[in-house]
Amino acid sequence: MKKDSEVQLYMRLRRKGTSQTLAAAKAGMSERTARKYEQAKALPSQLKQPHTHRTRPNPFGDDWAWVTDQLERDAALQATTLFALLVEKQPGKYQAVQVRTLQRHIATWRALAGPEQTVIFPQSPKPARMAQSDFTHMEDLHITIAGQPFPHLLYHLVLTYSNVEAVSICLSETFEALAEGLEAALWQIGGVPELHRTDHLSAAIRRLDREGREDFTENYQALMNHYAMQPTWNNLGVSHENGDVEQSHFRFKQALDQSLRVRGSRDFGDQSSYLRCLEDLTRKRNLTRSVRFEEERPLLKALPTKPLQPCREMRVTVSRFSTIQVLVNTYSVPSRLIGTTLTVRIHSQRLEAYVGPSHTLTLPRLLGQHQHLINYRHLIWSLVQKPGAFAAYRYHAALFPTTAFRYAYDQLQKELPGRSDAHYLKILHLAATISESEVEAALNLLEETQLTPTFERVRELVQPEQKPRLAAVLQLHPPAPHLQLARYDQLLQSSPLAVAVPRQLLATNPVTIAEPAELRCANE
């Protein structure tokens, strides 16, 4: 089949009076082919007839009625599933390579006789109209903090008109993470849009009855009221209704991956360093959207006078085990608080405990449920007096701060089985009293020298015997003059280079005067 351009060239040459033979040669076709198009007075595309016949028989013709019946019953059935059923029903009739043929036939059936599909309607966003936010998991970027894996999420908010964005680190999809991330994003942007659309989060949406009616949680509604935003949410399982932030997830993670590749490392010293990296990347990306943001900024509503700083509060009583229960998780607290009722403020990554209005301690928040966080410093003062309680203690494994302490305890059990608990608890008490790092270094030294890590040996390394101090500080007294003032007069007369010192000064501040010969030697 010749191209339309080739035939058009041939026709132009013929209209100029070129012979059929020469025009066909210049157009790159035979004289017979040229004659055919000239007589038809049509281009190749106009002569092409639609392909309505099969070049080979349909290998699924005998079973096609069964295939369409299955598709009409459930259009979501895949071709691979139906092919596997055909092979199972009729062994040996079909080959594995024919699955692609069935996929093409089913695709054609869906286009001609399949069910209607959901249409996505592109939107024209208005300035300051809406912000969308959602959480995205970051495990696929393999971020580490001080060499340790850092599984986390990002809370991501995007203005749908300018695409200006803000991110914050969080550890789970809780209301506290949503509220803190949203509040930080709004203050970073410097204004408030009319609407806030979020995913179908349990932190913000609650089901009211069995019929599926839903409403916002009281805490989330209070947050929206504080910022005068109207809350909305997308339908369950329909992520494209939150399409701006979903696309921003992909683009932001792609940009972060490239930034980390340029950096040459995915490890950060601490979480603050990682957060600064995210903020720098966000700032650079927002600079490319400055034109549209300048249009949007004046239309954003003003921020309230101060942040809400949302958090949940609970009142808990410290048990006799020196622990508290917060959201089905167990935390140890100092034993002096036993019996005290604490007010616990629950943030996304920490718990703050108060006795009345006074802040008492801050604890890292645990993820999930039925977890425990036991700090040996809270308990060791009582446990060292009751070494028999250590072996069967419910949170026994939590009282080994590092592997060096675990190895030391195992060695004590081997070599001092009857006194291992007492020795280890005294070592742990020493770590809580002086320094955990110094005690760990002493344990490592004893391990290298293959000595049993008894309490006495660890204490000798951590607190070596100090030299006795001097009983009294030496008292310095000014020396009495051993020369008479008359000899000083003789010195002035015999040595013109000598410095004249007033008699009154010598009388009030006696000093040792060198012999004249000595002074002359010093001057020379």
- Per the DSSP assignment, residues forming a β-bridge with 197 are 132, 232
pLDDT of residue 125: 83
Whole-number pLDDT of residue 205: 54
Q: Can you give the pLDDT at residue 409?
A: 94
Return d(Cα 45, Cα 65) in angstroms, integer: 36
DSSP-derived pairing of the beta strands 144-145 and 267-268: parallel
Reading the block at residue 482, the tokens are: 């051993």
pLDDT at 471: 44
Identify the pLDDT of residue 47.
83
CA dist 137 and 153 (Å) reads 4
> Is the dihedral angle over the CA atoms 66, 70, 76, 77 positive or is it negative?
negative
How far is residue 119's CA from residue 105's CA, in Å, rounded to a whole number?
Answer: 23
- Cα gap 150→138, rounded to integer Å: 9
Q: Is the pTM of this model over 0.75?
A: no
Average pLDDT, consecutive stretches of 10 residues, N- to C-terminus, the chain (524 residues): 88 92 91 90 83 77 92 92 93 92 93 86 85 92 94 93 94 87 93 86 54 61 89 62 81 95 94 94 95 94 87 91 94 94 92 93 90 94 91 92 94 91 94 92 92 92 61 53 59 52 45 42 41
Domain extent listing, the chain: 4-47, 73-113, 130-299, 312-373, 376-462, 485-523
For residues 258 and 166, the answer to whether their CB atoms sit within 8 Å is no
What is the reported pLDDT for 479? 56
Q: What local confidence, expressed as pLDDT, does residue 227 receive?
A: 92
List C-alpha distances in Å: 13 to 2, 6, 21, 46. Answer: 16, 11, 11, 20
**DSSP string spanning 472-485?**
SPPPP-PPPP-S-H
Structural tokens at position 22: 């020469």
Class at the top of the CATH hierarchy for domain 130-299: alpha beta
Contact 138, 253 (CB under 8 A): yes
- Torsional class of 366: left (φ above 0), alpha (ψ -120 to 50), beta (otherwise): beta
